[in-house]
Amino acid sequence: MSKLPEMLTIGQVAERSGVPHTALRFYEERGLIASERTAGNQRRYPRSVLRRLAFIRTAQRVGLSLEDVHDALATLPDNRTPTKSDWSRLSTTWHAELDARIDALIRLRDRLTSCIGCGCLSLRSCFLHNFEDEQASDGPGAPKLKPASEGGT
Amino acid sequence: MSKLPEMLTIGQVAERSGVPHTALRFYEERGLIASERTAGNQRRYPRSVLRRLAFIRTAQRVGLSLEDVHDALATLPDNRTPTKSDWSRLSTTWHAELDARIDALIRLRDRLTSCIGCGCLSLRSCFLHNFEDEQASDGPGAPKLKPASEGGT
DNA sequence: CCTTGACCTCGACCTAAGTCGAAGTTGTTG
DNA sequence: CAACAACTTCGACTTAGGTCGAGGTCAAGG
């Protein structure tokens, strides 16, 4: 272990993480990542930012908002590489979130499948037919329409 | 079964579906739903729009874009209540999509779990540690960042 | 007939998650 | 030290998915 540079420039981070430099500044503005500055005001990122970014991107891929991610990352320390227990704490939260999403997707898929498989030409008793009522029974005003992120507490 | 009204006003649809009337007009503009007009230019929706809306909202909940939904719904007939085979065709497509998403989520969850469970305090060999390299090996320029919709062909 | 509420269009505005370009500064290298 | 790539900020722009309000029309009841 000899030449691993301590701090990375924004360009290096962009290349290594696959995240555009514009997005990196954007994430920093949003408080998702942090950097130090050189005497000449240029950003220098610790290597740990790469792990943070991997986490952010992964979370996004599964449909979580940057705000959700921000909240989760807020539990990690800013100024040191996260320890196992830091990650563990975070992971536990996300595990539940992921479970919930997986569950919702599976239920949707299975209902769709069983409806189509059930042979009910009239669609009278099936999911697709009745779904409207389930929706309606949320009551008017209830669905405040955050379609892709019901996990955020 | 006597008094089911043939056509619904936008207000009725909004109430029954839980979708705000503003969104209904928006969806119509986007070609996701359709209406007829009265002599006085007011919208009248067939009851089947409720099923369409249920479908749209459900799809959104699992993270699909309105464009994806639009493409799917384009396979349904505009002018008659969809038959079983109409829905079946659509459902088949979505089944694959849902499977893919479920799979991605499960893999993420399990990797997260095994990392935390593995006891690797150094995080040296685990998912979170190595993930950055996976990301980087997509190559620069590869990730064009549609974080939540990699299913759209 | 007149009121009232539901409806119409249209354009402005909103959040999220960024991108793009201009104009100026830094850092590296011949 | 000059050149040039990489960096800086800032504001304008983008797409998706809508919301809001103004100003006008339609429909139903008294």
- What's the pLDDT at A143? 32
Strand partners, B45: B8
Q: What's the whole-model pTM score?
A: 0.71
Residue B4: predicted pLDDT: 58
pLDDT digits 0-9 by tens, B27-52? 999 999 999 999 999 999 998 899 88
Confirm whether A77 is domain-assigned.
no
B67 assigned to some structural domain: no
Could you give the count of Cα atoms lying within 13 Å of A6 in the half-sphere of its Cβ? Answer: 2
- Tell me the average pLDDT of chain A: 72
Find all residues with CB under 8 Å of B87, minimum gap 6, and list them: A115, A116, A123, A128, B76
Given a cut of 70, whether residue A117 has pLDDT beyond it is: no
pLDDT for residue A146: 36
Chain B, nearest residue to A53 by Cα: B132
Q: Is B118 helix (H, G, I), strand (E, B) or coil?
A: coil
Report the pLDDT value the prediction gives residue A5, as an integer from 0 to 100.
64
Q: In angstroms, rounded to a whole number, what is the distance separating the alpha carbons of residues A75 and A92?
A: 12
Q: How many domains does chain A have?
A: 2
CA pair distance B98, A106, nearest whole angstrom: 8
In the block, tokens 């196992």 appear at: A84
Identify whether A100 is part of a domain: yes
Residues B36 and B87 in one domain: no
Host domain of residue B134:
83-152
pLDDT at B82: 64
The tokens for A49 are 């930012």
The pLDDT value recorded for residue A81 is: 64
Give yes or no: residues A32 and A89 share one domain.
no
Best mutation target among B1, B22, B102, B149 (most A Cβ atoms within 10 Å) is B102
- Does a structural domain hold residue B110? yes
Q: Clarify whether residues B97 and B54 are in a common domain.
A: no
Same domain? A53 vs A89? no
Which nucleotides of chain C have an atom under 7 angstroms from any protein CB?
6-9, 16-20, 25-27
Q: Which residues of chain B have pLDDT under 50?
A: 1-2, 118-125, 128-153
A11 touches strand D (CB under 7 A): yes
Can you give the CATH number for the domain in which A46 is found?
A: 1.10.1660.10
Output the pLDDT for position A27: 97
